[in-house]
Structure 1
Amino acid sequence: TGQTAGHEKPLASTKNGKTLWQTTSSGFEENPNVTIEVYLIEGNMDFYNWLLAVMPKSENGKGNWSGMRKSGSITAYDSGDNMIMRWDLTNAWPKSYKVSDCAAD
């Protein structure tokens, strides 16, 4: 959840009746969750191995979540292949996962 400050009271008002506000971002109250959808290619075990490394030992994982954090970016492009937004993730790890049904059509 993002937090802002300074928006409670107007900063000034112009002769034309326009009210000026100042808002300052103070960061995140807590670490946000990001949901991504991953399509795996047969034979590529990278994502599975990462999940296995961070899963708790009680669930047959290796329990090394603090040592297996990953950084990366999620980038959005417009129809002309121009980057329009980018979110940088730092020290992320999977919180949960869900496997959907597969069809061999």
Structure 2
Amino acid sequence: MEDQEVKGVNYDPIADEYGTYEDYLDNQITATDMFYLEDVELARHLVELGLNKKPKKLASQGKNVEEFPLLQALKDREEAVRNGKLTTIIFIRDRNAKAQEVSGYIDYGHRHVLD
């Protein structure tokens, strides 16, 4: 955990596992995919679109977030959002040190989580 704190809050150790983005994509392509597709670029594109056959682990899987209502709500809907059965837009509004309002939207379905 200490290593993650040094590299930043949003650091994901998977970033150290692959030399390039293409290596990451290639790791998710199966021999069966290549047998049917016969084109590595097409297979990579399908992985990018989330259309590969390998089931993805939910980001919230195994996380205990019951004491955090927002995180619990996101965990409860993650699978439905990933499967396209539900859409979720998160609106965040806060005030900065100068008391100016700062706000933004996050489309939960378009965030990228590397499994």
Q: TM-score normalised to the size of structure 2?
A: 0.29
Q: Which has the larger radius of gyration?
A: 1
Q: TM-score normalised to the size of structure 1?
A: 0.31
Larger helix proportion of the pair: 2
Larger strand proportion of the pair: 1
